[in-house]
Structures are given as C-alpha cells and as structure tokens.
Structure 1
Amino acid sequence: MTVSFDFTDDVVLVTGVGGALGSAVAEAFLDSGATVCGADLVDSESEDFLLDNPDRIDFYQGDFTDEAQVAAAIEDIVDGHGGLDYLINIAGTWRGGTPVDETDVETFDFLFDVNLKTMFLATKHALPHLRERDGAVVSVSARSSLEGGEGDAIYRATKAGVRILTDSVAEENLGTVRANAVMPSVIDTPMNREMMPDSDFDMWVDPGDIADVMQFLCSDAASVTSGAAVPVYGEA
C-alpha cells in the first residue's frame, strides 16, 4: 500500500539535514510539497553533506548547541516564510566502546550537547511559532534508550532524555503543539555500513521508511497522537 502526504504551504525545519536520515526526511517533505528549511553544522558543499541538490531547501549552516545561533536561524525562517509548522529534531550522533568508569567527561559533554541540547534549544525557540500554527515536533530517540547496556551508557542516557523531554513538551502544550519521538535501532546509512561491515544490512531500516513515520506524526492522521515514542526499528 502506498501512502502519500500533502504538506503544501507548510514550513518544516529539519536539523541535521545533511545526514542520511535528515536528507531522507527533507526529500520526503519536499516531495509532499512543503517548504523545507534545513540546519546542519556541515557545510552544504561538503562531501559529507548527503542531501542532493541542497539549493532546493532554505539552508542554515550553524552550531545548534549555540542558543544564539538557534534563535537567529528560527527567527530568520519565520521572517522569511511567514511561520513554522513542523520541527524535526534529527541532529545527533553515537559514541561508545567504553564502560562508564572509562568514559571521559569530554565524551559525556559532547553527546549531551549534540543529542539532547540541540533538541532542547531548537524546540524551545520553535515552540512559540509552532503554537501559532497548531504545529508538531518530532525528535529522534533510540531503541537503546529503553534499557541500560554495555559500552554506550552515555548515548543511551541522552536518547532517554530525548524521550522524556518529548513527553514533557507534549504535556506542556496540550491542544496546541503535538510532540512525539521515533525510536530507531540501526539505520541503513553509509557510516553504519562502514562501522559494521559484517552485519546483515537487510535487517536494517531504510531512512526513507523512518521519514514516512515522521511525516505521519506531523500529519492530520496523527492529530490524536502526542507524547508517544514510536518504534521504527523493524527487525533490526
């Protein structure tokens, strides 16, 4: 069954737009008629920027751990496009390989900055504008946030933070802004294939499939869904 969405005349901001998932989400919203604004630390001309033809989006290069840069980017988007309907918090990364007692504080700070602080700041500054449009926020948690594990405790903690912050935003904005999260496991990306070359890639989830779920969570079809953490890990 084919599912289609229509976001014509809507404005969406995708953070981490240059990554594998971010670019897939941007493509999906572009195909659905939305005006797509994207933010990333990586320059759009870099070989690490995976979105084809970035000129199709309104791109903001910047550090979304810096509140002043976040505030300025969102104000520019609202001024330039007349408002903001959806925020998709994708900016994030993974680090691991050591137990807690061997993990340096720099790794702790880095993961909380990239995975949780970016989501907090973007959501904080987007919310006043999203309320004007009865908009939605969708953020990226992780399946591993549901339990402890060996070697990547800090990553799991940051993604658990995304879930809890999502639920709190939903509670604080009942009837005005819906907030939900998705929980992937291993996404089929070039980086993950390079890191885990002996894995069964067929078990991994395509970024486009996650993009479809994110579109659903922004759509009228999910009008009664807020505060959810939706599994998007398939068989991975």
Structure 2
Amino acid sequence: MSASFDFEGRIVLVTGACGALGSAVCEAFDAAGATVCGTDVVDVESEDSLLDPGIVDFYGGDFTNEGDVERVVDSIADAHGRLDALANVAGTWKGGQPIDETSLEQFDLLFDVNLKTAFLASKHALPHLRETEGSIVSVSARSSLSGGEGDGPYRASKAGIRLLTETLAEENRGTVRANCVMPSVIDTSANREMMDPKEGWVDPADIARMFLVLCSDATSPTSGAAVPVYGEA
C-alpha cells in the first residue's frame, strides 16, 4: 500500500536543513509540492552540506541566536506571504562521559543546538503558523524516555523537546498542531563511521515521510504526540 501527499502552495521551514535528516525532510516536502525554505549554520554550497541547493530557498542562520531566527522567519514570511509548517530538525549528539566528567561547554552545546533552536524557531514561527493553522514537528529521541550512562545531557535535551512539544500543543490547541518524532540510531554515513551498522537502523527518508504525515490532514486530530520512528534499532 502506498500513500501520497500534496503540499502544493504550502510553505515549509526546515532547520538543520544541510544535515542527513534535514536534507531528507527537505527532499520529502519538495517531492510533495511544497515550497521548502531551509536554514542551517552550515552553508548550503559547502562540502559539509548534504542538501541539494536546487530544491530549497536557503536562508543561512544560527538558530541559537534569536536575532538570526527572527531575521530568517520574517524574511520567509515577507517573501512568501505565509508559513504552513515548521520542521525543527537541527540537532547534535555528544556523549561518552558521566555527569561529573561532562564539561559545561558540552552541556551548553547540547541544550543550545537540540532545544534552544526548537524553542526559538517555534516562538517566532507561531504567529505565522496560527494564521494558516499550521504544524510544528520536532525531533526528540528514543533515549529521552529514560536515563542512561554517558549521554545524560543529550537525553535531557531531547526530553525537553517532548515537553516543549506538549506545551506548544496545549497552548495552541485548535490552531497549531505540534508533534515530535523519536528516532534511535539513524542510518547516516556519520553514524556508520562511528559505529558498526545494524540492520535495524532507519533510513532518514523513512523518518522524513513521518514529517509529511504529521503535517498533513491525515493526522488533523493529532497534537502533542511523540511518535516512535526507530523501527528495530
């Protein structure tokens, strides 16, 4: 059984657009007919970018900086006249140390990139999303459901995404839907370099399709959900 989505005429903002998952989300929305606005601290033309610059309107910006966030969101709204969906994909992972050996710099990095970016993007996108009765989809993690050894700040930052999502859903009930997805290990080249690949790892494209589902009319009653997207991983 197959499913198709039509986002023609919809404007979608994707943060972390140059990464493995962000670029897959951009590709999925582009294939569904949306106008995709991508943003990242990485330049789309650099060798570190995995994103095809031809499928997005790209806006460079550091989404840990509120001035950059406001500039990018306002520029998109001015250029396109609306905003229908926000995909909070920007994120990073660091770990390996117990809490008493974790540096403040690493803690700040994880909360800045994983949680602050989603908070600031949501804050500034909400006025536009309310006008279109749009959607927010953010990236939490399976590991946010419990404590664990060696990556506590990462887990805590991703747990914050779940609580931010529930708060956004509650505060905007009936106008803007907010949900998040919970991957485990995603099948990316970077993860394959760090770890031996496992058969159950999930392809970024499969997770990207869940963004389409959660932003579509097929899930109109769904808000405040944390959706597992970890397959057998």
Matched to 1:138, the amino acid is V
Which residue does the alignment assign to 1:217?
214
Q: Distance in 2 between matches of 1:233 and 1:190?
A: 17
1:186-222 Cα shifts (integer Å, max 9, x gaps): 00011101111x232x210001110111100000000
Q: Distance in 2 between matches of 1:224 and 1:8?
A: 21
Of 129-138 and 55-64, the range deviating more from structure 2? 55-64
**Aligned counterparts, 1:1-236, within 5 A:** 1-52=1-52, 54-196=53-195, 198-200=196-198, 202-236=199-233
SS, match of residue 14 in structure 2:
strand
Q: Distance in 1 between matches of 2:105 and 2:117?
A: 17
SS, match of residue 83 in structure 1:
coil
Unaligned runs of 5+ in 2: none
Where has structure 1 moved over 6 Å in runs of 4 or more? none
Percentage identity across paired residues of the two chains: 69
Q: Distance in 1 between matches of 2:2 and 2:218?
A: 15
Unaligned runs of 5+ in 1: none
Q: C-alpha root-mean-square deviation of aligned residues, in Å?
A: 0.6
SS, match of residue 9 in structure 1:
coil
The answer on whether the counterparts of 2:13 and 2:39 sit within 8 Å (CA) in structure 1 is: yes
SS, match of residue 59 in structure 1:
strand
